[in-house]
Amino acid sequence: MTNHDELTLELALLEEELEAEAAQDPLDLISELSDQTQDIAAQRELVDQALVELQGNHEQQLQGLKFFCEHRDPRALPLLLPLLDSSCPILRMSAVYALGRNPHPEALPLLLPKLQQDSNGFVRKALAWTLGNYPSFEVIPALLKALGSDIAAVRLWATSSLVDSSLNNSNQREAVAQQLLLSLRIDSEPAVRSNSAWGLGRLHAYLEPDLALSLGEALVAACIDDADSGVRDDARNALEQLQNPALLSRLQNDWA
């Protein structure tokens, strides 16, 4: 490189540095840092207030639970766990959702049996969602049972959570896929059948060839035979995700 080229390169680099410095007034940077510091301090105050509320009366506990359904802080765990046994189903439900937002291994042994034992459907629905945030293999048998026998709202969330959990537990994907195939065929609730089709589309790439083939056949059948147009649409969307021209061609031939 000539001296002229070196000088040209140095000038170009210097211009870039000057442009970067001129891009924003240093006083503006100080102002932004100050705002961020204030925001962090305000957030800490809200967290501390919510922790205190969890130890208060019924209304205060509800406010604290609402906060931790949206925010995370490890200090909330010992205050959330006792609320799982509250006589108030709203408190139990909110505590379950908060533990889904703030998952911790210590909570799992308390959450699992409640999916079968809690008498309130809204609480069990919250449990079906929350357990999907726990990567442990232990959640899958409980969710499979819920998908096979619980009310529609619980089955709906169990479907989604089963897919999420099975992606973290490869040895249980086949059992999950088999139950989703069954639900797609026989569940009485269209929303559950739609969610089953969606879940099967997500699992397809991770399944053994024989099961993947059965999955494709089930989606084709749902596209053609399901009585609900929403289920047919969702099955079609899942089928398109498989990127299998032969199955799509069969579908078009059956519709022709």
From residue 227, alpha-carbon distances to 143, 180, 222, 232 in Å are: 26, 18, 9, 8
pLDDT in tens, 118-162: 999 999 999 999 999 998 999 999 999 999 999 999 999 999 999
CA distance 29 to 56: 41
- pLDDT > 90 in the chain, percent: 71
Q: Which domains does the chain have, with CATH numbers?
A: 63-168 (1.25.10.10), 180-255 (no CATH)
Q: Smallest Cα–Cα separation from 164: which of 180, 186, 183, 153?
A: 180
Q: For residue 133, give the DSSP letter.
A: G
Rounded mean pLDDT of the chain? Answer: 87
Give the burial string for 38-55 (b: 16+ CB within 10 Å, else e): eeeeeeeeebeebbebbe
Model-level pTM?
0.80
Q: With beta carbons less than 8 A apart as the criterion, state whether 196 and 180 touch.
A: yes
Q: Is the pLDDT of residue 207 over 70?
A: yes
Q: pLDDT band at residue 107, thresholds of 50, 70 and 90? A: very high
Q: Which pair of structure tokens corresponds to residue 114? A: 């409640």
Distance of CA 145 to the CA centre of its chain: 20
User: End-to-end CA distance of the chain, in Å?
Assistant: 70
Give the burial string for 220-242 (b: 16+ CB within 10 Å, else e): bebbeebeeeebbebbbebbeeb
* Residues contacting 143, CB < 8 A, separation 6+: 115, 128, 131, 132, 158, 161, 162, 165
Q: pLDDT band at residue 192, thresholds of 50, 70 and 90? A: very high
